[in-house]
Structure 1
Amino acid sequence: MIDLDDLIALVRNYNPHTNTDLIARAYDYGARMHDGQMRQSGEPYFTHPVAVAAILTEQHLDDATIVTALLHDTIEDTKSTFGEIERLFSTEIAELVDGVTKLTNLELSSAQSKQADNFRKLFMAMSKDLRVILVKLADRLHNMRTIRSMRPEKQAQKARETMEIFAPLAGRMGMQWMREELEDLAFRVLNPEARKSIIRRFITLQRETGDLVHSITADIRTEMDKMGIDAAVYGRAKKPYSIWRKMQEKDLAFSRLSDIYGFRVICEDEADCYRILGVIHHRWKAVPGRFKDYISQPKQNGYRSIHTTVQGRDGKRVEVQIRTRQMHEVAEAGVAAHWAYREGQRVKNPFAVDPAKWIASLTERLDDEDHVAFMETVKLEMYTDQVFCFTPKGDVIQLPKGATPLDFAFAIHTRIGNSCVSAKVDGIRVPLWTRLRNGQSVEIITAEAQRPQASWIDIVTTGRAKAAIRRALREDDRSRFVRLGQELARAAFDQVSRKMTDKALRTAAKMLAVPDEVELLARIGSAELAARRVIEVLYPEVAQGHADEVTQRPVVGLPSDQTFRRAQCCQPLPGERIVGITYRGQGVMIHAIDCPALEELESQPQRWVDLHWQPGRHPPIHNVGLCMTIANDAGVLGRICTLIGEQKANISDLVIEDRKPDYYRILIEIEVRDVEHVHLAMTALEAESQVARIGRARDLGRKP
């Protein structure tokens, strides 16, 4: 969770005159009101309001909006009241929090309510102050980013609601970046196979054509330099959902789809926009019918830009957007640009629309505007298809699309699922991760000694199977977790010079809404709950004082004569948050901030050094371990090695950990530049149909 100092620093980056006392009081009040509440992921609930506030700082919003984000769930979910917030903060903030609460209480996903009516309710609720919807959109964005902790049926409901209401609303408000991210997050839930298909095709295209983004960006910059025009050029590949939607709307195959890549040219004044347009049309052939001038005819939400599509390298169509810096700020923030700060000052952007006039114009036209146009209808397969499979006796088992034999086993009975060792589909033995199809006959093979494995969680799709697997894993590991939790808790108590007693643990369990002290220790041992959290709820003054001491000691970076090494347990990469641990006579060992090995060092804070990667000051090559489960078919291992090479990553070691008739489990060590490089390699490998599972070795508990 982002702490108070970090949040204030984020605000100060764009508003040096921020009211830090107001934000600090809101942070402390929100933490106190939500104390003991937990998210479905197991995190303290207050991590959510803080994350929402952090999202809003990216849009450079005012203090009142940031404070509203910190308090947006207090009236709804705690004993807090409108009057108390008004007394402690201000009427403005109390009304904003109340407005967000009213939006939350709208039954947006009601089957009886038309989508257009839902939008009407939203606009009416936010008509007093548009900032309430900015907070609500940030709230939905964070919930979608963390949606995997929800039940599958809840994920589907929230994803549909996001696709139908919140993503189009963000687009209407000009916040295109948020719309695209919301759509892609919802797409990941609603149609994961389609999304993976787009990614696979995109990787194939990159393999065939090379890095077009880099080459075309360089071409445009060269043309700008020739004409002496000062402009920044940016290029990117469009989001998977954006590509998918165009394929559906235009009924085109991926290979025939144009403008998969988008480019922006940002300059200083309007006259340069038209000069740049002339340069681009002179250099490349314009595509007829694909030119739009939103500078002379701005969109209602304030959006201004010139759009043109040209035939770039090798005849590939690319879309180019041309705008000034001020236009770009509105294009990124939309209506939110009205409140945004720039270079430390609340400067009026001449292109930002007046929110009051904007909302008034929308509400006036709600009854007249065509609902289809207003809703920006999304053509997407929203509802999960069902598959029907048969037991050997002929009984029908209904499962969601994408279900596996393991889902089938748990659907019959938890005991069958727990003891499943393999399966036959239509008489042929198949891996447990095989996706079932309609009409197949499934036979589950069991063994009395078999117990669920942690890897099964990623294989199954049904909530029933996941819950049963987690329950079995907890039972198997409970005694080990309790013992480990005792050691971690004792170390945390010793760290603040307090004695761990059964009474203290019972009190902490009650304050943290945990059934009893044994369950508390089990959660600490399983890393569901940090031992320091127990200290924080029992001795807040002591815990805060200790945290202040630790905060004062760490430094950013290392002395020039200090040696350091990367820890092999977590293999941190540039781009990841890191921490250093000092060793006498051996320098500093660099760990990823979430490395489990750090728990053993919680009682030795004097050895911790706060570090971050410095660009250009680290070796260009780093080893990192990947653990993969692949099909045992001819040529699969060769394709894996080829894919890694195509991503410009070198294989330094390869070990086959487990060999079965139908699959291999392998550990590959590759050389990469940074965390982005390893993510690119993993994305390419994950898209390979014969790869069942892939992850960083450290995340899967493997020794690199």
Structure 2
Amino acid sequence: MLRQYELVERVKAYNPDADEAILNRAYVYTVQKHGSQKRASGDPYFSHPIEVAGLMTELKLDQETIVTALLHDTVEDTLATIGEIEDSFGSDVARLVDGVTKLSKIETLTENERAAENLRKFLLAMSEDLRVLLVKLADRLHNMRTLHYISSEEKRRRIARETMDIYAPLAERVGMYEYMREMQLLAFEQLEPEAYATITGRLAQIRGREDGQVDAIALAMKHALAEAGLSVEVWGREKHPYSIWKKMAERHVSFEQVTDIMAFRVLTDDVEDCYAALGTLHRTWQFIPGRFKDYISTPKNNGYRSLHTALIYENSMRVEVQIRTREMHRTNEFGLAAHWAYKQGGRPDGQVGWLRDLIEIVDASHDAEELLEHTKLAIYQDRIFAFTPKGALFQLPKGATAVDFAYAVHTDLGNAIVGGKINGRHMPLRTPLSNGDVVEIIKGNLSEPQLSWLGFVVTGKARAAIRRAVRARERQEVAEIGSKLFDEIAARLPTRIGKKAIQAAIKRLGYKDAEEMMFNIGSAKLSDREVMEALVPGSTSELPDDIEWPKQDRAISIKGMASGMAYHLADCCHPVPGDRIVGLRSSGRKVEVHAIDCMTLASGIDADWLDLSWGERSAGAVGRLRIILYNRPGTLAEVTSIFADNRANVVNLEMMQRDDPFGTYQIDLEVTDVAHLTRIVTALRASEAVAEAERA
């Protein structure tokens, strides 16, 4: 553990103007506040914030960040308050400490909800000042270094999983690769102990069997580059155990089949020497096609710059080589923190565009599951580069589509997309983009995001925006139903209802506007009696409690669930009124309503079963058909006329397969009940345009 004078000397070494008094006060403050508290290792608790502060000095960060590191756990784990810290250390430090402070455990929430709320607060604080992220990453790194002292295996694995899913990718996204690699290695040891032991053991064997080979290859490269007149540093290492394991899993190969175990770095004086070194290495040893990447001309979002290549060395040995300047290397290893050391008090330019996307995701996410899903999508690596027709560059995850690209440019553009051109050719929206594609987005004035897009978009930003737009559209539709019901309810009152009465009713019910009231009427959260009483107080006092209002087809009603229990009709079987149904209830989720013969029920889902039946108001649902049409002009028109004749509205129509002379379609229809759907299937089978028709 760093002593007080050692910490101060470290800061003064790179920042002679640092306020020695505030550093000393913060050191003493954290020691006094944490007092006799102990860590799982048995060390005094204050050793942790002091070590985190030490990590910050290695990155040469400003004194406010060092003080924040010393104090970051005092509010959560001691009697200290943010107000007290502000009085003693200033508003900037208090704001940073508040941002880093973890949320207290809320035992009533699920693990995902706790993680999501912690992440939500963290991201919002990070958007205000990125030093919050730097301290948090150092805090997590030191906690991972001492994770093995925790006796509970379950707790160790939970912390390791959170580190692997959230903190290591965040470290990568701000370019702090040293932190990322160490966090991944420590988490890998806890999550996959057998694989970790096997790979580290194999690496030790290779090291013993081929002692000195890495140094020999590095020396050979240095000699070849020196003969070309280049002054460089070269060193090598075995690849990261987690990186090897990931490659084994992705390629489905054994350890022996992973050929590029060794990786080398070449550091040059300037960019021109980087490309000169690349040419020399390619002339000296055979280059492996498809393995060259130029992150100097096209840097990663986090500012990472380097040339990557792979060579076949003697005896068919494959080695990876990274070539960069010394300045690039400093930035690549410590990313955002390296920038901060040279731009004190300023936000590094061009490195945090992805952060704006994360904050937009926080605002758009509906619940804990969505927030975690979208954020993980937004911060993971493996990216491609695509361009607008004017040459603007956007980085996207592998598998991204034109819809992802449109949302990356701007949310409004994503919401308006109706088509896309990839390299000048019209292509389906679900087409994955490749490196270097030029993407032109075609907009429509009346277009809206479609729920089906969630089946192929891969970015968290796109998924969050689509879900938000679909929810807003659904809310609007329910509000329109509620408006019609409101007119019918108001007509029963003995007096005409004007705008003032409606505004007064909204206020009495505690809603912010008329749309919110209409939504609650349409979704049956407000009874007819409550609406009438809000409009004209006392108007229902003479009415009997058991009065039956005229029935309205507000929504499908289902018997067998508690009043107000949320549910949705399962997408796998699309039950409609008349089907025998059953409900699946899982903790924290809506009840899923399935047809009794749904194949999903046979898959052993861990959920409670509810015996359900359709209620009296059940009229209308979406049924799904699978039809095979003859591939000739007019067949689709004939089918749609059958739907129109039978008063069925087409919700979605999708071609699933073309196999001349046939085309297979999946069609979702709004029908009243199972008898209605059966009549439509019978009519389709009688048509000469249809080869097969069945309920999906």
C-alpha distance in structure 2 between counterparts of 1:107 and 1:269, whole Å: 55
Instruction: Please identify the structure whose Cα radius of gyration is greater.
Output: 2
Q: CA deviation at 1:44?
A: 1.1
Alpha-carbon distance in 1 for matches of 2:274, 2:97 = 41
Q: CA contact under 8 A between 1:115 and 1:164: conserved in structure 2? A: no
Q: Please say if 1:330 is aligned against 2:331.
A: yes
Residue 267 of structure 2: aligned partner: 266
What's the CA shift string for 1:352-397, capped at 9, x where partnerless? 545665522543467699767435399xxxxxxxxxxxxxxxxxxx
Match of 2:192 in 1: 191
Alignment match of 1:360 (pick from 352, 356, 366): 356
Equivalent residue of 1:39, what SS?
A: coil
Could you tell me which residue of structure 2 aligns to residue 472 of structure 1? none
Distance, in Å, in 2 between the alignment partners of 1:374 and 1:89 is 35
Specify the alignment match of 1:168 in structure 2: 169
| Equivalent position SS for 2:289 | strand
> For residue 13 of structure 2, what is the aligned residue in structure 1?
13
Post-superposition Cα deviations, 1:533-557, rounded to whole Å, max 9, x if no partner, equal xxxxxxxxxxxxxxxxxxxxxxxxx
TM-score (norm 1): 0.50
SS in 1 for 2:253: coil
Is the 8 Å Cα contact of residues 86 and 94 (structure 1) preserved in structure 2? yes
CA distance in 2, matches of 1:26, 1:11: 13
Alignment of 1:158-237 (within 5 A): 158-237=159-238
Find the residue that maps to 2:341 and give its secondary structure.
Answer: coil
The unaligned stretches of length 5 or more in structure 1 are 379-704
- Paired with 2:106 and 2:227, the residues of 1 have a C-alpha distance of 56
Whether 1:133 and 2:115 are equivalent positions in the alignment is no
Alignment check: 8 A CA contact 1:234 1:265 kept = yes
Q: Distance in 2 between matches of 1:325 and 1:212?
A: 25
1:26-425, aligned counterparts within 5 Å?
Answer: 26-102=26-102, 110-113=110-113, 122-152=122-152, 153-341=154-342, 353=349, 357=353, 359-364=355-360, 373-374=377-378, 376=380
1:116–1:371 Cα contact (<8 Å) kept: no
CA distance in structure 1 between the aligned counterparts of 2:266 and 2:104, rounded to whole angstroms: 39
The residue type equivalent to 1:328 in the other structure is H
SS at match of 1:321: strand
Secondary structure of 1:320's counterpart equals strand
Distance 1:183 1:292 in 2: 23
Q: Deviation string for 1:239-262 (max 9, x for gaps)?
A: 211111111111111111132121
Q: 2 CA distance for matches of 1:334 and 1:109?
A: 35
Q: Which residue of 2 aligns with 1:612?
A: none
Query: What is the letter of the counterpart of residue 65 of structure 2?
Result: T
Aligned residues of 1:216 and 1:313 also touching (Cα < 8 A): no
Q: In structure 2, what is the Cα distance between the partners aligned to 1:375 and 1:106?
A: 26
Determine the C-alpha separation between the residues in 1 that align with 2:336 and 2:346.
12
Local SS of the residue matching 2:305: coil
**How far did residue 115 of structure 1 move?**
7.8
3-state SS of paired residue (1:134): helix
Deviation at 1:348, TM superposition (A): 9.1
Post-superposition Cα deviations, 1:497-521, rounded to whole Å, max 9, x if no partner, equal xxxxxxxxxxxxxxxxxxxxxxxxx
Counterpart CA distance in 2 for 1:290 and 1:155 is 37
Report how far residue 215 of structure 1 moved: 1.0
SS at match of 1:127: helix
Contact 1:99–1:132 (CA under 8 A) maintained in structure 2: yes
Residues 357, 373 of structure 1: alpha-carbon distance in 2 compared, 3 angstrom cutoff: closer
Describe the shift of the 1:40–1:327 C-alpha distance in structure 2 as closer, same or farther (beyond 3 A): same
Give SS of 2:292's match: strand
Contact 1:130 1:355 in 2 (8 A): no
Q: Flag the structure with more relative contact order, 1 or 2, with Cα contacts below 8 A and sequence separation at least 6.
A: 1
SS of equivalent to 2:135: helix
Relative distance call for 1:176 and 1:356 in structure 2 (3 A) is: closer
- CA distance 1:47–1:305, change in 2 (3 Å): same
Matching of residues 605-624 of structure 1 within 5 Å:
none
Asked whether the equivalents of residues 159 and 189 of structure 1 are also in contact (C-alpha less than 8 Å), the reply is yes
How far apart, CA to CA, are the structure 2 residues paired with 1:295 and 1:356?
A: 18
- Contact conserved, 1:49 with 1:73, CA < 8 A, in 2? yes
- Residues 198 and 106 of structure 1: is their aligned pair in 2 closer, same or farther, counting only changes over 3 Å? farther
Residues 348 and 78 (structure 1), Cα distance of their counterparts in 2 relative to 1, 3 Å cut: closer
Quote how far apart the aligned CAs of 1:299 are: 0.7
Partner letter of residue 359 of structure 1?
A: L
Task: Indicate how the Cα distance of structure 1 residues 119 and 289 shifts in structure 2: closer, same or farther if over 3 A, else same.
Answer: farther
Contact in 1 for aligned 2:296/2:306 (Cα 8 Å): yes
Alpha carbons 1:127, 1:356 under 8 Å: kept: no
Q: Deviations over 1:462-520 (max 9, x none)?
A: xxxxxxxxxxxxxxxxxxxxxxxxxxxxxxxxxxxxxxxxxxxxxxxxxxxxxxxxxxx
**Is the 1:11–1:18 contact (alpha carbons within 8 Å) kept by the matching residues of 2?**
yes
Cα distance in 2 for partners of 1:87, 1:355 equals 33
Call closer, same or farther: CA 1:229–1:163 in 2, change over 3 Å. Answer: same
Distance 2:40 2:254 in 1: 40
**3-state SS of 1:339 partner:** helix
User: Contact conserved, 2:173 with 2:379, CA < 8 A, in 1?
Assistant: no
Q: How many residue pairs are counted as aligned between the two chains?
A: 373
CA drift of 1:346 comes to 5.5
Compared CA separation, residues 25 and 371, structure 1 to 2 (3 A): closer
Question: Post-superposition shift, 1:234?
Answer: 2.1
CA distance in structure 2 between the aligned counterparts of 1:108 and 1:281, rounded to whole angstroms: 60
2:288 match: secondary structure = strand
Amino acid across the alignment from 2:3:
D
CA distance in 2, matches of 1:139, 1:107: 23
Residues 303/159 of structure 1: CA separation in 2 closer, same or farther (3 Å cut): same
- CA distance 1:207–1:38, change in 2 (3 Å): closer
Judged with a 3 Å threshold, the aligned counterparts in structure 2 of structure 1 residues 229 and 116 are, in CA distance, closer, same or farther, namely: farther
Alpha carbons of 1:104 and 1:168: their partners in 2 closer, same or farther (altered >3 Å)?
Answer: farther
Residue 203 of structure 1 aligns with an amino acid whose one-letter code is A
Q: Which moves more between the two structures, 304-313 or 352-361? A: 352-361
Q: Which moved more, 1:367-376 or 1:86-95?
A: 367-376
Change (3 A) 1:288 1:364: farther
Give the AA of the match of 1:297. T
Amino acid at match of 1:299: K
1:374–1:110 Cα change, 3 Å: farther
RMSD (Å) for aligned C-alpha atoms: 2.9
Partner of 1:17, secondary structure, is coil
CA distance in 2, matches of 1:333, 1:111: 31
Secondary structure at the residue paired with 1:289? coil
Asked if structure 1 preserves the Cα contact closer than 8 Å seen for 2:259 and 2:317, the reply is: yes
Q: 1:115/1:287 Cα in 2 relative to 1: closer, same or farther (>3 Å)?
A: farther
Name the stretch that deviates more: 150-159 or 98-107.
98-107
Contact 2:261 2:319 in 1 (8 A): yes
Cα distance in 2 between the residues matched to 1:18 and 1:47: 22
| Range moving further from structure 2, 151-160 or 56-65 | 151-160
Change (3 A) 1:283 1:119: farther
SS at match of 2:17: coil
Q: CA deviation at 1:4?
A: 0.7
Q: What one-letter code is carried by the residue in structure 1 that aligns with 2:40? A: Q
Q: CA distance change for structure 1 residues 216 and 120 in 2, over 3 Å: closer, same or farther?
A: farther
